[in-house]
């Protein structure tokens, strides 16, 4: 991949699934910067549920409107004026943490390298609690055939 259909800044920042995905990555960074981690996760989960990398450039605004306190115009301005700065910081953090693929999951500061099955994620997360495990730890999760894998 490469070129303007996948990258900005002459190929310095690219996305495996195209420019719309990269644009959404920037919008998510903007939401985190201006509205905090709670709104970030709310926005990411909603956008991932309702949009995909083929339509997210038009779909994201409707999702942002569903979240109290997010100003679409502020996100647009951030995307326009702060994209390179935010992506640079993200790349620095990736290098610091040794992130080279997606998804990369950290549990208690350690990179998770186990199976991508839901039950295995659950076990690793729940094992990180010394005591007072969350109620979700007692819920039996099923394995699935399709799991995230690979390096991108």
Closest CA to 56 of 149, 36, 64, 67: 64
pLDDT at 101: 80
* Whole-number Å distance between alpha carbons of 40 and 147: 24
pLDDT at 83: 97
Share of the chain above pLDDT 90, in %: 71
Indicate the range of 17-21, 49-53, 70-74, 101-105 predicted with least confidence: 101-105
- In the block, which residue shows the tokens 């693929």? 101
3-state secondary structure of 111: strand
Q: Is the peptide bond before 103 cis (omega within 30 degrees of 0)?
A: yes
* Whole-number Å distance between alpha carbons of 54 and 14: 15
pLDDT tops 70 at residue 51: yes
Q: What is the pLDDT of residues 110-139, one digit of tens each?
A: 999 999 899 999 999 999 998 899 999 999
* Whole-number Å distance between alpha carbons of 115 and 5: 32
| Mean of pLDDT values over 7-22 | 90
Phi-psi region of 12 (alpha: psi -120 to 50; beta: other; left: phi over 0): alpha
Tokens of residue 135, six digits? 């109620």
């Amino acid at each position: 991949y490469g070129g303007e259909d996948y990258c900005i800044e002459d190929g310095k920042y690219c996305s495996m699934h195209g420019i719309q995905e990269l644009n959404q990555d920037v919008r998510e960074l903007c939401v985190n910067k201006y509205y905090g981690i709670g709104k970030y996760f709310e926005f990411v989960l909603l956008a991932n549920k309702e949009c995909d990398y083929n339509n997210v450039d038009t779909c994201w605004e409707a999702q942002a409107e569903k979240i109290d306190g997010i100003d679409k115009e502020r996100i647009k301005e951030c995307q326009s004026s702060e994209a390179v700065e935010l992506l640079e910081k993200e790349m620095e953090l990736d290098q610091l943490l040794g992130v080279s693929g997606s998804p990369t999951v950290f549990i208690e500061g350690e990179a998770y390298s186990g199976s991508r099955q839901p039950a295995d994620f659950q076990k690793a997360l729940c094992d990180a609690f010394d005591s007072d495990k969350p109620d979700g730890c007692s819920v039996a999760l099923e394995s699935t055939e399709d799991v995230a894998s690979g390096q991108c």
